[in-house]
Amino acid sequence: MLTRSRVTTRRRAGLLLALAAVLFLGSIFGVRRQDDGWLLVAGGYTVDVAGAWASGWTRLVRDCRAVQALEPEDPAHTRAADALRAYSPPDSASARIAAVQSIGVWRLVQASFDALEPVVVIVLDEPSKPPRVLPEAVWSGSPRPFDAGWRIRGFLRSRVPQVPAPLLQCLEPVAGLF
């Protein structure tokens, strides 16, 4: 039979164990605000949980059937690459195109340079007009520690909301660029 003092001792031990567990988990996990987002810090590593979840969800529900991956020999690829190379010379002339995706007159271009940060840009290639890089739709640099796809998609969507949603949803940053 448990006496009142044994019950109290067990409760104290249970509370102490719960407190120790909370303190232990608090020493391993933390939350940090950076830029305009929140990051989970786990054992010294920074994880963008919201970005990873959003990117995973996007991959699950997106429909990329309307999006074309353009090959380098495609004239639309060449026009988009030329527009990027002419955008901010002389540094942009060294653009190495990693990927071009397209829906209609919209091109999503990923590229690296000799002296500039890697970019993702939107090029508008309308008939009877020269293709042009939309200055408000230029992502440059690393999104780290945030999830690259989620961060870049959100940035471009906020800047050029008229871009077809599948083009942005189907953006997968090329490995090694970001």
For residue 2, pLDDT over 60 is answered with no
Neighbours of 118 (CB within 10 A): 19
Neighbours of 137 (CB within 10 A): 20
pLDDT digits (tens, 9 = 90+) for 53-108: 888 899 899 999 999 999 999 999 999 999 999 998 888 989 999 999 999 999 99
Give the tokens for residue 57: 């969800």
pTM of the entire predicted model: 0.76
pLDDT digits (tens, 9 = 90+) for 7-21: 577 788 888 888 887
Name which of 95-99, 114-118, 139-143 the model is least confident about. 139-143
Side by side, which strands form the sheet with 45-47? 29-34, 37-42, 45-47
